[in-house]
Amino acid sequence: MRLEIDRERLRGDIEANAAFGAVEGEGRGRTNLTGSEANREAREHLVSRMEEAGLEVRIDAVGNVVGHWTPESASSAREPIASGSHLDSVPEGGIFDGPLGVYAALESVRAMQEAGLSPDRPIAVVSFTEEEGQRFAPGLLGSSVAVGERSVEEALALVDGEGRSLVDALEAIGFRGEGRLDASGWEAFVELHVEQHDRLETMGIPVGVVSAITGITHCAVSIEGEANHAGATPMGDRTDALCAAGEFVLDVERAANETVAADSESAVGTVGSLEVRPNATNVVPGGVDLSIDVRDVEYDSMDAIVGRAERSLARIERERGVETTLDRGFDLEPTPMSPRLREAARASGEEAGITTMELHSGAAHDAMHVARVTETGMLFAPSLDGVSHSPREWTDWEDCARATRVLGGTLARLAGATP
């Protein structure tokens, strides 16, 4: 059941999508924020391409787009096999992050049609709303509604930095539909995405089969010292919140490195944001607010790093006289991918003569939400130098085609397609 992917047709779809919100400069960048004019154009183009392929297109109340292919061989009463990703981007993001997964799913359907395959289940091609979370935070918005973690009403009430609601933005571009896409009604879901890392490129492997999607913990930390005159306050009389924060940042780095060495090589810990108060050159810093991002595919190692961070703050309080707080406000456990779908992907790669390897995802994806309500799998295509969320993001067109071939074969297997 070897599917022939039309590489140039797939490339044409991704190139066309890249034009919506294209940014000038080095590389190939685009800014496609949910509810923008560029987003309207991208959505309209996708709908037209779905309809050209004979898919029945529906749009739900939060703008999720789904196209169903139900050939004569498939019963509409059977749960569909779904695949897709997202069309929105970060500001000045790359052209493959998201759109590759959407158009690879559509190309998989077209390849099955042209091969004369007869699946016994419908196949759904999906584009989720606001995966990146750049305008209507947080990210993975459309998939969170599709799995029932967030209500339609709650999502539509979200506002951007200018106070405009999601419902108004979707209505303005004509993509506020009706009802709610229900991912629990899918038999399975498979997402193809660019890797956003250099492991596949380094190993010379064209397709990755994702074993698990990382868990993510965000902690908000506050360190309170005493603001005072930088010239008149002796060094021994200072309660410098920024110096205390500097120790803490290094403790977090040390905790992550030691966790990698002893327990889990995929663990990471990052302090990526600091706000210093009053942030003046001639004032001893009186307070610092900072954030920690901890990720791993092993939840115990995430807990261990957060525990080390809490003990660091306790020590710094004793030794430096500051007051501290830590709030673990966001905590998402690692998401394993379905063993059955991973095996289907490996078998599809073997059948197509394409080498695959298992690896984990260090970034969040819609698949981690969908995995809570149905069997879910994920594939990666190589990223040049591991760069993503940048105009320098690049995946070779042949790699796009290879990954799509494996995706198409996986969907065909899951849908019970026969010649």
Does 219 share its domain with 129? no
| Residues near 25 by beta carbon (within 8 Å), at least 6 away in sequence | 391
The answer to whether 316 touches 248, Cβ cutoff 8 Å, is: yes
Is 209 in the same domain as 237? no
Please state the rounded mean pLDDT for residues 132-154.
95
Per-residue pLDDT for 160 more than 70?
Answer: yes
Beta bridge partners of 376: 189
Longest C-alpha distance within the chain, in Å? 84
From residue 377, alpha-carbon distances to 24, 104, 159 in Å are: 35, 15, 32
Domain membership of residue 1 (yes or no) is no
Contacts of 364 (CB under 8 A, 6+ apart): 139, 140, 213, 214, 216, 332
| Confidence band for 138, pLDDT divided at 50, 70 and 90 | confident
DSSP H or E segment with residue 401 = helix 397-414
Average predicted confidence (pLDDT) for the chain = 97
Domain assignment present for residue 209? The answer is yes
| Mean pLDDT computed over 46-59 | 98
Sign of CA dihedral 314, 315, 319, 322: negative
Determine the Cα–Cα distance for residues 180 and 291; give it in Å rounded to an integer: 34
Residue 286: phi and psi, rounded to 5, are -95, -20
The pLDDT, as a whole number, for residue 409 is 98
Domain-located, residue 360: yes
Q: What is the pLDDT of residues 394-412, one digit of tens each?
A: 999 999 999 999 999 999 9
User: Which of 332, 360, 382 delimits the end of a domain?
Assistant: 332
| Residue with token string 């007869």 | 118
Tell the residue number behind the tokens 């010649």, with chain if given.
419
Percent of the chain beyond pLDDT 70? Answer: 100
Q: What domain range includes position 220?
A: 215-332
One domain for residues 305 and 385: no
Question: What is the CA 405 to chain-centroid distance, rounded?
Answer: 22
Band of the pLDDT at 1, cuts 50, 70, 90?
Answer: low
> 15 and 124: one domain?
yes
pLDDT value for 344: 98
Q: Measuring CA to CA, which residue among 159, 50, 176, 38 is closest to residue 113?
A: 50
138: preceding bond cis by omega (within 30 degrees): yes
233 and 356 in a single domain? The answer is no
Q: What is the pTM of this model?
A: 0.92
Q: Is residue 409 part of a domain?
A: yes
Mean pLDDT confidence for 271-285: 97
- Unique residue bearing structure tokens 């498979």: 190
Name the phi and psi angles at 268, rounded to 5: -140, 150
DSSP secondary structure letter of residue 384: G
- If we measure between CA atoms, which residue out of 205, 254, 5 comes closest to residue 115? 5
CATH number where 253 lies: 3.30.70.360
Q: How far apart are CA 25 and CA 265, in angstroms?
A: 37
Q: Is residue 26 part of a domain?
A: yes
| Residue 419 pLDDT level (bands cut at 50, 70, 90) | confident
Instruction: Check residue 2 and give its pLDDT.
Output: 75
Pairing of strands 65-69, 56-59: antiparallel
Do 163 and 186 sit in the same domain of this protein? yes
Number of domains in the chain: 2
Listed residues 332, 353, 388: the one ending a domain: 332
Query: What's the sign of the alpha-carbon dihedral 212, 144, 98, 27?
Result: negative
Is residue 384 located within the same domain as residue 394?
Answer: yes
Q: List pLDDT tens digits, range 309-368.
A: 999 999 999 999 999 999 999 898 999 999 999 999 999 999 999 999 999 999 999 999
- Has residue 52 got a pLDDT over 80? yes
Residue 419 lies in a domain: no
Q: Which of 314, 332, 350 is the last residue of a domain?
A: 332
Q: What is the mean pLDDT of residues 11-27?
A: 96
Torsional class of 344: left (φ above 0), alpha (ψ -120 to 50), beta (otherwise):
alpha
pLDDT surpassing 80 at residue 29: yes
The whole-number pLDDT of residue 259 equals 98
80 confidence band (pLDDT: 50, 70, 90): very high
Residue 2 in domain: no
CATH number, position 393: 3.40.630.10
pLDDT at residue number 287: 98
Q: Are residues 172 and 184 in the same domain?
A: yes
405 falls within a domain: yes
The tokens 């609601």 sit on which residue?
165
Same domain, 130 and 221: no
Strands 207-213 and 188-194: unpaired
pLDDT band, very low/low/confident/very high, at 16 (cuts 50, 70, 90) = very high
Identify whether residues 208 and 265 lie together within a single domain: no
The verdict on 314 and 240 lying in the same domain is: yes
- Tell me: the pLDDT tens digits for 234-266? 999 999 999 999 999 999 999 999 999 999 999
**Nearest Cα residue to 68 out of 85, 86, 55, 53:** 55
